[in-house]
């Protein structure tokens, strides 16, 4: 039996029906499927008319040991089975705060906003994994409510659930949710210098510190200095987390 957190998670943006003038052709699914073939991340679509999944890619991270077809059939029930109770409570709180934020955005701007956050998934063997979940509107109703959204799931660069941020396309400003106060606070995306970005990209290509130093004509100690600066700016402690963080926040 579902508790209050589960009920809140279901009803916060549930739509009863879609007016005829808001109907859209199905060709967009082919675009989403093509995108899913090109990324290592898990991709799925939410339909808020019945809180179902309209599409689930076969990238394994999100599936928790199921097939994509099985997760598709489960819909939101998948979360109730494979998210720890504490994280379900967090998701309910976050959803309520996010849709309240969304309601204050002018209708013509709403598709420009995306949200990302971290929570745990539990696979069939009982193992927990922390994932980063990104969501953005795909279709809105005429009155600006979210009808369908596209979601991307990857490994989280953090250590704990939470880390809720909303960002706007074309803007460096982001908003971070304080889970305790349930209020949003403006923040700025971390900024890396061109040299720091170059060092990060070369690490992403698999080059060692020595190889990077030779590539950009500096000493290994200078490369280590750039690395330390990157870690400080991104608030991480190793290069893998730095790369994950940079990709998640679209810094490179």
Last residue of a domain, one of 188, 216, 238: 188
Q: What is the pLDDT of residue 23?
A: 55
Range of the domain at 238: 194-248
Last residue of a domain, one of 188, 221, 236: 188
Q: Looking at the structure, do residues 173 and 226 belong to the same domain, yes or no?
A: no
Q: What is the pLDDT of residue 19?
A: 57
Q: Looking at the structure, do residues 214 and 169 belong to the same domain, yes or no?
A: no
Q: What is the pLDDT of residue 7?
A: 67
Q: Looking at the structure, do residues 42 and 154 belong to the same domain, yes or no?
A: yes
Q: Looking at the structure, do residues 97 and 180 belong to the same domain, yes or no?
A: yes
CATH code, 135: 3.30.450.20
pTM, two decimal places: 0.78
Q: Whose CA is closest to 252, among 209, 190, 208?
A: 190
Per-residue pLDDT in tens (0 to 9) along the chain, 252 residues: 567 766 666 666 676 666 555 555 568 898 999 999 988 889 999 999 889 999 999 999 999 999 999 999 999 999 999 999 999 999 999 999 999 999 999 999 999 999 999 999 999 999 999 999 999 999 999 889 999 999 999 988 888 999 999 999 888 788 999 999 999 999 877 889 999 999 999 999 999 999 999 999 999 999 999 999 999 888 787 888 888 778 777 787
Q: Looking at the structure, do residues 38 and 132 belong to the same domain, yes or no?
A: yes
Q: Looking at the structure, do residues 164 and 52 belong to the same domain, yes or no?
A: yes
Task: Give the count of domains, the chain.
Answer: 2
Q: What is the pLDDT of residue 9?
A: 67
Q: Looking at the structure, do residues 68 and 19 belong to the same domain, yes or no?
A: yes
On whether the CB atoms of residues 68 and 57 are closer than 8 A, the answer is yes
Q: Looking at the structure, do residues 132 and 223 belong to the same domain, yes or no?
A: no
Q: Looking at the structure, do residues 111 and 208 belong to the same domain, yes or no?
A: no
Q: Looking at the structure, do residues 131 and 226 belong to the same domain, yes or no?
A: no
Q: Looking at the structure, do residues 175 and 154 belong to the same domain, yes or no?
A: yes
Q: Looking at the structure, do residues 119 and 223 belong to the same domain, yes or no?
A: no
CATH code, 236: 1.10.10.10
Q: What is the pLDDT of residue 18?
A: 61
Last residue of a domain, one of 188, 213, 238: 188
Q: What is the pLDDT of residue 93?
A: 95
């Amino acid at each position: 039996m579902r508790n209050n957190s589960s009920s809140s998670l279901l009803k916060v943006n549930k739509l009863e029906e879609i007016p005829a003038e808001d109907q859209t052709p199905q060709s967009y699914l082919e675009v989403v499927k093509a995108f899913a073939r090109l990324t290592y991340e898990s991709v799925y679509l939410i339909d808020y008319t019945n809180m179902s999944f309209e599409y689930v890619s076969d990238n394994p991270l999100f599936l928790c040991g199921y097939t994509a077809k099985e997760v598709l059939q489960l819909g939101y029930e998948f979360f109730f089975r494979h998210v720890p109770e504490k994280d379900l409570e967090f998701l309910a709180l976050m959803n309520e705060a996010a849709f309240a934020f969304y309601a204050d955005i002018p209708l013509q701007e709403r598709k420009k906003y995306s949200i990302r956050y971290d929570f745990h998934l539990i696979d069939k063997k009982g193992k927990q994994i922390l994932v980063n979940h990104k969501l953005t509107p795909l279709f809105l109703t005429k009155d600006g409510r979210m009808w369908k959204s596209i979601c991307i799931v990857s490994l989280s660069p953090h250590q704990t659930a939470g880390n809720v941020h909303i960002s706007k396309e074309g803007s460096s400003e982001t908003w971070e949710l304080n889970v305790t106060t349930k209020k949003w606070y403006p923040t700025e995306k971390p900024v890396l210098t061109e040299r720091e970005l170059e060092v990060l990209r070369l690490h992403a290509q698999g080059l060692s510190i020595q190889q990077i130093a030779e590539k950009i004509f500096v000493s290994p100690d200078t490369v280590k200095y750039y690395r330390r600066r990157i870690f400080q700016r991104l608030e991480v402690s190793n290069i893998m987390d730095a790369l994950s963080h940079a990709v998640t926040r679209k810094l490179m």
